[in-house]
Structure 1
Amino acid sequence: MDSAAWQPNEGAGNPLLDRLDPDDGRRLLALTCQLVWATTWMAEANEMVSPRLGLPALPVIDWPDDDEDPAPRLHWKTVFLTQWAAGRPFVWIDDETTDADRRWVEAHHPAPALLHRVDPYRGLTDADFSVIRRWLTQLGVGPDGAHFNR
């Protein structure tokens, strides 16, 4: 579906879709990193969310189907997402991460990681994008996504 053709209330009954800010897609694409869906929407994110944000189809993390409980106080995505990153730096934008997740990733992931919590009622803000851009710059990622030495 063409994102310009999308109209409010085409959310297939999901009120969260009407909260999306179409301008966020442009701002996400301007970040100097690879975008990946790490959502419970899984492949449906490319069908339901991407068009509303003007994003292309993105890679999707396929969550395991196991019923294994996470470590105490950890978000259920934390350990698997860190394994998926396989030692690479990553930014995780979510509305459910906590300090426990940050501490766990810092202790168990060998590369830098930014776990950035977003207010679910406000969505991504200018301040959120500033934090992420600053982190990418400190990591040494240039505007074209290339790494540079500091």
Structure 2
Amino acid sequence: MMEQLSDRIRKLEIANEIRNRIAEQSRLQDVPYALEALEFYSSDSVMDLGDLGAYQDIELKRQYYRELHKTVTFQLHYKFGRIHNVDPEKSTADGTYVFLELPITRGKATFYIIRGEMQLKQEDGLWKLGQWDQRLASAPYDEGWANTEPIAAPTSMQQ
């Protein structure tokens, strides 16, 4: 009984650690810090973005993020979902997430909903994305959903 309880607690702790890593990745993916988010991918990870392509090599991921900066000048990520199939012995876990992204693309506010499946693994003592599959749906308006520029955060909120 105590061993089962200890195992359950360990899995919950791992799931919480992964959620915290995903939250940090979301913050770093917000432009202009996207290149820093590459540290969340394992050395052999695959980032499959559906119609936008699949990227395995770290340099290809870096190039993808650099190109992204040319069209996306601001981005806000919000992710929610669950971590499941946590295996402390293999240092692996799976996640199913829905992402809400609010980017400014080509000067227009847009809205994306992304469903993502991820396989995570521990590498160098940190939880990282091993396989990342996502499918994107965006607002169907060429003009975007807002025609005003975002207001700057108060100076007290800026880092």
TM class, shorter-chain normalised?
Answer: under 0.3
Query: Which entry has the higher C-alpha Rg, 1 or 2?
Result: 2
Q: TM-score, normalised by structure 1?
A: 0.23
TM-score, with length taken from structure 2: 0.22
